[in-house]
Structure formats: C-alpha cells, structure tokens
Amino acid sequence: DIVLTQAPLSVSVTPGESASISCRSSKSLLSSKGITSLYWYLQKPGKSPQLLIYRMSNLASGVPDRFSGSGSETDFTLKISKVETEDVGVYYCAQFLEYPPTFGSGTKLEIK
C-alpha cells in the first residue's frame, strides 16, 4: 500500500497568516496519463471530510481560493493563505492512484 506521511502533526496559526502542510508519498503519484492523484481534505470538528483539492492542484467546487495545492511526484504541499477561524480542523492528504486508496495521518490546524 502507498504510505502518505504528513507534517507537521499540528500547526497553530494567527488569523490572517499563512499555513503550509506537507505530505510525502512512498511512491510516485504521477499516473501514465500525466495526472497526479493526490487529494486534500479538511475534516472540521464533528463533521465529515470535505474535498479541498483534487489532482494535486485543482480547487474543488466552492472552496475558497485561499487554499492551494502544489508538489512533485512524491512531495506535496497544501497552503492556506490568510487563515480564517473557520479553517480549523484536521487536514488529510489522500491518494487514489492505486487501490487501496490511502490517507495521511492528518494535520490539526488550530487558531492562536
């Protein structure tokens, strides 16, 4: 199975500042079709995960453009610019290149 390693475990951010979360894959997530199958989710407290970014850098519908995704074949970053209080929760990266789909262990974002 593909292992996704996230860092840091938690991050505390002042509203208005930026935050970055890293996700490293044990295997290249670049498919033969040139698509990088890395996704980002946010799970707000007590809620289901919601899709933020698909295929490494594409913003999901309804997601503010404060969120952005970037990376290479194995190293990925989610950046949140101008963090707001509503951004608190646990961020997960996920891969759907191979089955089983796997998730990172999560990064908890807190507000200072």
Q: Does 37 bind another protein (CB under 8 A)?
A: yes
CA of residue 110 relative to chain centroid, distance: 15
Q: CA-CA distances (angstroms) from residue 12 to 24, 38, 42, 66, 92?
A: 21, 24, 16, 17, 16
Nearer Cβ to another protein (16/100): 100
Per-residue burial over 5-39, b = 16 or more CB atoms within 10 Å of its CB, e = otherwise = ebeeeebebeeeeebbbbbebeeebbeeeeebbbb
Q: Does 25 bind another protein (CB under 8 A)?
A: no
User: To the nearest whole angstrom, how small is the minimum distance from the Cβ of residue 33 to another protein?
Assistant: 11
Tokens 């890293």 sit on residue = 22
Q: Does 55 bind another protein (CB under 8 A)?
A: yes
Nearer Cβ to another protein (49/77): 49
With CB under 8 A as the contact rule, which of the stretches 20-28, 63-71, 81-89, 104-112 interacts with another protein? 104-112
**# residues contacting another protein (CB under 8 A):** 22
Residues that bind another protein (CB under 8 A): 37, 39, 47-51, 54-55, 58, 60, 92, 94, 96, 99-106
